[in-house]
Amino acid sequence: MNKLVSIIIPALNEESLIEKTLVSLKKQTYQPIEIIVAVDSRSKDKTIQIARKYTDKILQVPVKGASATRNFGARVAQGEYLMFLDADTKVSKDLIGNGVEFLNSGYVGGFARVVYETESPRVKLIEAIQNFFLSQGTPFYIQSFYTTKEFFQRSGEWNEKISLGEEVDILRRISKFGRLKYDSASSIRTSPRRFIKSKDFSYAVLGAALAYAGLKNLPYPPVREVK
């Protein structure tokens, strides 16, 4: 029997994008999965109503912030394997199946190839930077990754005290238990909205340059989270 995979999606006013994300999960070749949409209590739009069309596991989270919301969802997840996914990100139909295969073979976590839904040269540069570091198994900014519940809990869960570079932080802690896998055969297609502002672009490029130079403890995360 296949092991249950729990997908945790934090959401705050995501009515314009979350439906495409949920549709992509419904098309997964792997089963069983449970979809958990953890909605920040500050959400004022129709995110909950849209999510109800695809899952009955909707949490109205009393805490604030993406990391706290993800932790809330992970604590009620029933799956032995966990996948964290941004609400503006679609996944290819084989991503979860491939991820389970990698976890079963000994990897402690993994992520798929990143594709931004834009033709902007500057955003495509960010895409290339992300995929380069991820392909090396290096903890880096990512919109979705998977791991086991055991390694997630042993890592100390998401750090709710930081609001920048949360993904880099938790992946670094998970990677202490073993190797991370980059799945080039699967993909996540995501919104470029985090790089609309020039400051976001500058943070990403400079952070990547410092990481490439060998500086492991960056003075700030490679990419700045947008509120």
Span 195-218, average pLDDT: 58
pTM of the model: 0.89
The domain ranges of the chain are 5-212
* Average of per-residue pLDDT values in the chain: 88
pLDDT at 108 over 60: yes
Q: What is the CATH number of domain 5-212?
A: 3.90.550.10
> What would the pLDDT profile of 146-176 be if each residue is shown by its tens digit?
999 999 999 999 999 887 778 888 999 999 9
pLDDT band at 65 (very low <50, low <70, confident <90, very high): confident
> What is the 3-state secondary structure of the chain?
CCCCEEEEEEECCCCCCHHHHHHHHHCCCCCCEEEEEEEECCCCCCHHHHHCCCCCCEEEECCCCHHHHHHHHHHHCCCCEEEEECCCEEECCCHHHHHHHHHHCCCCEEEEEEEECCCCHHHHHHHHHHHHHHHCCCCCCCCEEEEEHHHHHHHCCCCCCCCCCHHHHHHHHHHHHCCEEEEEEEEEEECCHHHCCHHHHHHHHHHHHHHHCCCCCCCCCCCCCCC
